[in-house]
Structure 1
Amino acid sequence: MLIRILEITVPVFGIIALAYFYGRRRPTDLRDANRLNIVIFTPALIFHALTERSSGGEHFLMAAVGAAVIVLGSGMLAWIWVRATRRDPAIYVGPAMFNNCGNLGLPLAILAFGEDALPLAVVLLVTENLLPALCHQIRSASLRSAGAASMAADSIAAPNAMRFRKSARL
């Protein structure tokens, strides 16, 4: 069992250590490599994994729902722990919810479960990357609707306030 775990994790952490020591010896600007990764390689990997290696959309939907439940459940548990221990939620809740399922998680999933695990690992990656954007959109929409409601209340209250100010001056 321990040998199997080491067979899976040693290559990944070996590459990380190699890159660390190379970066210490020869500092490089990785902005272009990061841009290529985000704009070209990650979408290509997602497209390839979900089209060429897929067995069906029903499994992907269940995996996405399961990933969302795990992420949101972890966030709720972290929120409860943060409140109970009086710590700063900005520091603890995000990392408890979102793990590194991309650069570290995909190779580990392939090494641990084989090539057949790649599509489900990609679904986890996509779900974890879309959840913050979705939560932000929901929050923005609720703030906009609350802002619209307060603007409507202000438009009703504003003329009365103006009348009050005029009568106060007289």
Structure 2
Amino acid sequence: MELFHIIAPVLFIFFIGFIGQKFLSFDIKTISTAALYLLSPFLAFRTFYTNELDQTYLYIAAFAVILTIVLFVIVWIMASTMKASRSERSAMILSGVFMNSGNYGVPVVLFAFGNEAFNYGVIMMVFQSILMNSIGIFFASIGGDTNATWKDSMQRVIRMPLIYAAILGIIFQLTSITLPNSLMQGVDLIADAAIPVVMLVLGMQLAVIAHKRVAYRYVTVVSFIRMVLSPILAVGILLFLPVNDLLKAVLIIQAAMPSAANTTMFALQFGTEPDLVSFTTLLTTLLSLFTIPIVLFFVMN
């Protein structure tokens, strides 16, 4: 029941977006564009600016990269085996590779293990954000435009302001540049708005796809990879990394999170099967109500 109380706010935001779209019919792409280009860069800047770098970053970064590569290969093979189109394959990568480590995973590890685990969770969220906002955007871009080349999609990635905001945050931290309190308050206000807006966009998209057809065979495969295979792979990867038991538990929990809500925003922005991505995010989020307690039981015993 206490775990449900952590998940409930996320589901509540989904619901508000769903109801709002049903009754008010927003222009979803415009809202998602604002979140991607105006709100998210400030969230990235604040994350890198306020979280101190230390040696733990190296192990968490290695874990994030290895898990992403392994999941990517598995999803790519499955998509090829199922003869998915270019757009469908990109959508499967978005949903299967990237997890909701931020606004879902971090609260769960805080509830389960306390402040030290929360700090680990935030670091993992940072690296996952880098991967999702580079590799994720790349595949969203190349999947949405069937005529796009690898070079075209890479240029779109380079134009994303979030990457530069993250780099700026690191520079400010390493050079001990202190922002004026009044300016930092403004950064906080915009950054705090990013995650709720992204979640609202997901709810809106779910309302739109209510009467559309979704390729359930792709949803099923990706959901299995995200909710079952991903945490199992995490356990295997951590056998080879010299990290403490608490960090292992945090990373396994993070790997077991449902599909990231941001992937819906990317799919909307670039037209990469947003219905498929949104429905997978909804399904994996609902499945997490049952799978996350199982994972918690495993890592706590």
- The 8 Å contact of residues 63 and 124 in structure 1, kept in 2 or not, is answered as no
Residue 87 (1) aligns with residue 83 (2): yes
Q: Deviations over 1:39-58 (max 9, x none)?
A: 23211111111121x13153
Pair 1:66–1:82, CA change in 2 (3 A):
same
Give the alignment of 1:28-43 within 5 angstroms.
Answer: 28-43=26-41
Q: Structure 1: where are the runs of 5+ without partners?
A: 141-170
- The 8 Å contact of residues 67 and 124 in structure 1, kept in 2 or not, is answered as yes
Distance 1:65 1:82 in 2: 26
Pair 1:31–1:133, CA change in 2 (3 A):
closer
Matching residue of 1:128? 132
Residue 111 (1) aligns with residue 76 (2): no
Distance 1:100 1:26 in 2: 30
Deviation at 1:20, TM superposition (A): 0.2
Q: What amino acid maps onto 1:99 in structure 2?
A: F
Structure with larger RCO (C-alpha < 8 A, sep 6+) = 2
Matching residue of 2:72? 75
Q: Secondary structure at the match of 1:19?
A: helix
Deviation at 1:23, TM superposition (A): 0.9
**TM-score, with normalisation over the residues of structure 1?**
0.61
- The 8 Å contact of residues 64 and 124 in structure 2, kept in 1 or not, is answered as no
Q: What amino acid maps onto 1:130 in structure 2?
A: S
Q: Secondary structure at the match of 2:26?
A: coil
Deviation at 1:134, TM superposition (A): 7.6
**Percent of paired sites with the same residue:** 12
Q: What amino acid maps onto 2:124 in structure 1?
A: L
CA-based RMSD of the aligned residues comes to 2.9
- The 8 Å contact of residues 64 and 123 in structure 1, kept in 2 or not, is answered as yes
The runs of at least 4 aligned residues of structure 1 exceeding 6 Å deviation read: 133-136
Matching residue of 2:17? 19
Q: Deviations over 1:70-121 (max 9, x none)?
A: 11101222334445x54327435524643353xxx42102321235333421
Pair 1:39–1:124, CA change in 2 (3 A):
same
Q: What amino acid maps onto 1:113 in structure 2?
A: V
Q: Secondary structure at the match of 2:83?
A: coil
- The 8 Å contact of residues 109 and 118 in structure 1, kept in 2 or not, is answered as no
Q: Secondary structure at the match of 2:55?
A: helix
**TM-score, with normalisation over the residues of structure 2?**
0.37
Q: Secondary structure at the match of 1:87?
A: coil
Pair 1:50–1:119, CA change in 2 (3 A):
farther
Q: What amino acid maps onto 2:3 in structure 1?
A: I
Q: Deviations over 1:20-46 (max 9, x none)?
A: 011101111244433332223211111
Q: Secondary structure at the match of 1:51?
A: helix
Matching residue of 1:45? 43
Q: What amino acid maps onto 2:37 in structure 1?
A: V
- The 8 Å contact of residues 79 and 89 in structure 1, kept in 2 or not, is answered as no
Q: How many residues align?
A: 131
